[in-house]
Amino acid sequence: MTDATPTATGRRPFALRHPSVIVVVAALALFTCVVTLLSEAYGTGAISTSFVKTLGKTLCLCLAALAMDLVWGYCGILSLGHMAFFGLGGYAIGMWLMYARTHLIVVGSLSGQALPATPEEIRDGIAAQIFGVVGGADFPAIWSVAHSLPLQLAAVVLVPGLLALVFGWLAFRSRVTGVYLSILTQAMTLALSLYLFQNDSGLRGNNGLSGLQNLPGTSQPQSVTSMWFFWASALALGLGYVLCAWIVSGKFGSVIRAVRDDETRVRFLGYPVEGFKLFVFTLTAVICGIAGALYYPQAGIINPAEMAPIASIYLAVWVAIGGRGRLYGAVIGAAVVALLSTWFTGGQAPDLPLGIYTVRWIDWWTVFLGLGFVLITLYAPDGLGGLVDRIVRVRRSDRDGAELSSGPGARAIRKAGR
Amino acid sequence: MSALLEVSGVSVSFDGFRAIDNLSFSIGHAELRAVIGPNGAGKTTFMDIVTGKTRPDTGTVRWGRTGRSLLRMSEARIAREGVGRKFQRPTVFEDQTVADNLMLALRKDRGPLAVLVFRPTAEDRDRVAGLAGEIGLRAALDRRAGDLSHGQKQWLEIGMLLAQEPRLLLVDEPAAGMTLAEREHTTELLKEAAKSRAVVVVEHDMDFVRRLDCKVTVLHEGSVLAEGSIDHVTRDDRVIEVYLGR
């Protein structure tokens, strides 16, 4: 068999066809090693434990952005609900963390009694500890498996996955698309967060779940456990990247990009468009759930405000800034914006005295971010990832002077101009 | 039943406007047919009904030897049954290469999971290269479809239809915006395709229809006005009045 056909690219190994996979995984491995060697627990201590947590959280946000890029950048579904799935993953693991830790505390405090505590006493003690803050003393039904780590880990995957499956099935089969679908996903997110704000939702209302940074069953200090979560986050991001790259590399990627660009045409090719959308929507919801389950133990607290629609909009902003339709773009966008956001809002950024007015970054960061978003949308629709493309000169076919039609954004502009 | 597709007594109205009025139409297993008619005659709506995009108010659409109804099937299901459609405006996936476009159309299992694990074999790649040769895009396999000329996009779309291996091809104005040489090539492609399957060509251009040299169906106000050879229908007084006379 000769290589006469230019389509022979399919025979080369996966990693060679997608050099970005090697680059991203290598960069991630290097980053992990450097952070480990500079950490308080395993290295010189140049990086504080709280900064290790910030970096670990950033990796989780990158993973969520990766999922967002798959569902939006590749499949064209502008979901404004993926941070809700992220939050659900966090709640699922948070329930176990809180239960198991409270269990240890209650057992410890009851051990001084003359008679050994009965399981009922322990259970009531845990319930009183956890739900006292919302005026309850009984476990709601959704906490029935909170004592079991494997079951709560299953919930990390199943709860966001099932919600996305049911929601997506209803929305896609009614052929809700475009901005209407975005509004629908946003409504879902808002409803979920408002529900969780209620004290009788069973998840402690606006108090949320707290103390999640304490890993029950280990006496290791925070400096060590935070590294564990950092490694797990790096591993999850690496695996997530390889999985997403594998999915978009083959014919499946070709089909979902086609769905993004012209759904009707794909239908007339015989592809069940709804099935493809549902698959991508559900898979990315699960990825977000896993990212959330790794994020919140590092954040230490989760409350319903984390699941407000604005969080999902930020996710879309990161992906847009990083560059849609290229996976490394999503990672770059989330990392850059999340770290800058931490720097500006964390009080490290020096105030900017302008004589009559002093710019305080804590107040002005959001304005700055919004301005950056507008400028990138207008002048660099391919985002930061597009700059990377330009630097490494990703091979682009000669357009023979034809109009630019690279991204869906450019296409929409052309359509509007017609 | 000898016909591949049999549409009978189909009517459809949009907001009180009768786009299709008691239309009956049938085509054999290997036949080339031209459908002509003035604007608003219902040509596109007719295609929409056959491909499942529009549901008719009344009437039946029967398919294949067993005469199964197409009316209850989704668009994707009908496409998998073997109805291929080419739109008026060339709709190829501009972001992807010619090879990707053809590979997308190649007749394979269309389910999400099957597509996820699908990796093209050498045979599939040869087939794509062969199809590209047929449509004159052999050298352009690795080019982005968006970079092709208008005529090349039209051919690519025809190539994608052939890759689907449909039993019925519905082609909407294939010659629109083509140069004379491109038209001749397109005529050859369609005639060749009609040797092994049914092909319905909707066209405005009389010269192009004459070159196809096949049976012609004239639509007017949603129903069939005349049917026969091109010479037969162009001599028909009513056809001259509603279409050619203008």
Q: pLDDT tens, A135-177?
A: 888 888 899 999 999 999 999 999 999 999 999 999 999 999 9
Interacting residues of B82 by C-beta distance below 8 A, sequence separation 6+: B164, B165, B166, B167, B168
Selecting from B116, B122, B125 the residue whose C-beta is nearest the C-beta of A252 gives B116
How would residue A407 be classed by pLDDT, with cut points 50, 70 and 90?
Answer: very low
Rounded Cα distance between A240 and A229, Å, is: 16
Q: Minimal Cα–Cα distance from A189 to chain B, Å?
A: 27
A252 touches chain B (CB under 8 A): yes
- Cβ distance of A268 and B85 shorter than 8 Å: yes
**Residue A293 predicted with pLDDT over 50:** yes
* Mean pLDDT for all residues in chain B: 88
Q: Minimal Cα–Cα distance from A382 to chain B, Å?
A: 14
| Whole-prediction pTM | 0.89
- Cβ distance of A272 and B74 shorter than 8 Å: yes
Q: Where are the domains of chain A?
A: 14-304
> Which structural domain range is residue B61 located in?
5-244
Extract the tokens encoding A77: 């579904």
Dihedral (C-alpha) A85, A91, A94, A95: value to the nearest 10 degrees?
Answer: -140
| pLDDT given at position A408 | 44
Selecting from A261, A264, A272 the residue whose C-beta is nearest the C-beta of B110 gives A272
Q: Minimal Cα–Cα distance from B172 to chain A, Å?
A: 14
- Cβ distance of A7 and B103 shorter than 8 Å: yes
Dihedral (C-alpha) B70, B73, B76, B77: value to the nearest 10 degrees?
Answer: -80
Helix (H) or strand (E) holding B12: strand B5-14
**Residue B135 predicted with pLDDT over 90:** no
Lowest mean pLDDT among A148-152, A191-195, A322-326: A322-326
B216 has which bridge partners? B34, B228
Total domains in the fold of chain B: 1
Largest Cα span, chain B: 59
How would residue A330 be classed by pLDDT, with cut points 50, 70 and 90?
Answer: very high
**Residue A63 predicted with pLDDT over 80:** yes
ipTM attached to this prediction: 0.87
Residue range A356-369: average pLDDT?
A: 85
Interface of B with A (CB under 8 A): 51, 53, 74-77, 79-80, 84-85, 87, 91, 93-96, 99-100, 103-105, 110-113, 115-116, 118-120, 122, 125-126, 128-129, 141-144, 146-147, 160, 164
pLDDT digits (tens, 9 = 90+) for A5-21: 444 444 567 777 778 89
A173 touches chain B (CB under 8 A): no
**Residue B105 predicted with pLDDT over 80:** yes
| pLDDT given at position A393 | 62
CA nearest to B99 within chain A: A7
- What's the residue count for chain B? 246
Residue range B131-147: average pLDDT?
A: 90
